[in-house]
Amino acid sequence: MEAGIFFQRVEWVPSYATAAAANPADLEAAELQAMAEFRAFAASLGMTARVVSTANRPRVVVFVSKESHCFHDLVLRWRAGEFAGDLVAVVSNHPNLREAAEGYGLDYHHIPVTADTKAAAEAQQLALLERLDADLVVLARYMQVLSADFLGQFAKPVINIHHSFLPAFAGGKPYHQAHARGVKIIGATAHYATRDLDEGPIIHQDVTRVTHRHGVDDLIRIGRDLEKRVLAQAVRWHLNARVLAYGNKTVVFD
């Protein structure tokens, strides 16, 4: 970045964590004390420090609509141990993925959203997120725009996957737009949701080559692979405390 700011990320294993025979309560106390000491040390140097313990696993709520590929992908990665956090529930404006979610043992909350009921639906979602003590919302191809009000009240990170290489093809039907323009590469972008749609800090992007032989349906199919891995990588980095939003950008310690 060019703001004269120095960013650094350090990960360490404290000696008390590897000591034998510690009981959990002692460990937690040692951890809290160590974190407080580091914060004080950082402050004494004039640094701003965010200190997190990997013992604390963030609670993740996944929002979906009808498309299932990102949803299955996130769940299977979580079950494979790829995430330093836990999926605690699924929220959807449609009933379609209930069976799949419950098959994975996940609670499914169907909260329909129409133009008329949007405010009420968001209130319901916020109450649910509070009850679930959610630390992160992941929009896994959730096809509703969250209002600025919702984002302000939730006040915790929301990660969205947009199915284009932003800022190209912002807005709706990006694969149709890409096909109409005749691009030779398509992309996907994971970003923090902000009140300006498709304008939040970008966490991760990736692309794939396409040709004139690919129709819109091919782009949609090929794009699913991109969306899955770009969203999963962004969620993974976020849960590992490897992403730092700064202004409208991110610093990613990959």
In the set 49, 128, 143, 168, which binds a copy of itself (CB under 8 A)? 168
For the sheet with 202-209, list strands across it.
108-110, 86-92, 59-64, 136-139, 158-162, 185-192, 202-209
Residue 113 carries which side chain, given as an amino acid letter?
V
The answer to whether 195 and 151 have CB atoms below 8 angstroms apart is: yes
Catalytic residue, candidates 107, 133, 196, 198: 198
Query: Using CA atoms, how far apart are residues 49 and 175, in angstroms rounded to an integer?
Result: 41
Annotation marks residue 133 as catalytic:
no
The answer to whether 248 and 199 have CB atoms below 8 angstroms apart is: yes
184 interacts with a copy of itself by CB under 8 A: yes
Tally the C-alpha atoms within 13 A of residue 62's C-alpha that lie toward its C-beta: 31
Taking residues 197 to 216 in sequence order and writing x for each that binds a copy of itself by CB under 8 A, - otherwise, the string is: ----xxxxxxx---xxx-xx
Query: Using CA atoms, how far apart are residues 184 and 178, in angstroms rounded to an integer?
Result: 9
167 interacts with a copy of itself by CB under 8 A: yes
1 interacts with a copy of itself by CB under 8 A: yes
Smallest distance, a copy of itself to C-beta of residue 244, A: 9
Smallest distance, a copy of itself to C-beta of residue 27, A: 22
Smallest distance, a copy of itself to C-beta of residue 219, A: 11
Name which of 204 and 238 has its Cβ closer to a copy of itself: 204
47 interacts with a copy of itself by CB under 8 A: no
Smallest distance, a copy of itself to C-beta of residue 10, A: 9
Candidates 21-29, 50-58, 67-75, 113-121 — which segment interacts with a copy of itself by CB under 8 A? 67-75
181 interacts with a copy of itself by CB under 8 A: yes
Smallest distance, a copy of itself to C-beta of residue 125, A: 27
**CA 161 centroid distance within chain:** 8
103 interacts with a copy of itself by CB under 8 A: yes
Q: Which two tokens stand for residue 227?
A: 């969306």
72 interacts with a copy of itself by CB under 8 A: yes
For residue 213, count CB atoms less than 10 angstroms from its CB and return exposed for 0-12, middle for 13-18, buried for 19 or more: exposed
Omega of the bond leading into 201 within 30 degrees of 0 (cis): no
Question: Read out DSSP for 106-136?
Answer: --EEE----TTTHHHHHHHHHHHHHHHT-SE
Name which of 156 and 249 has its Cβ closer to a copy of itself: 249
Judged by the rule CB under 8 A, the positions of this chain that interact with a copy of itself are 1-2, 7, 68-69, 72, 76, 80, 82, 103, 165-169, 181-185, 187, 201-207, 211-213, 215-216, 221, 224-225, 229, 248-252, 254
Residues recognised as catalytic: 198
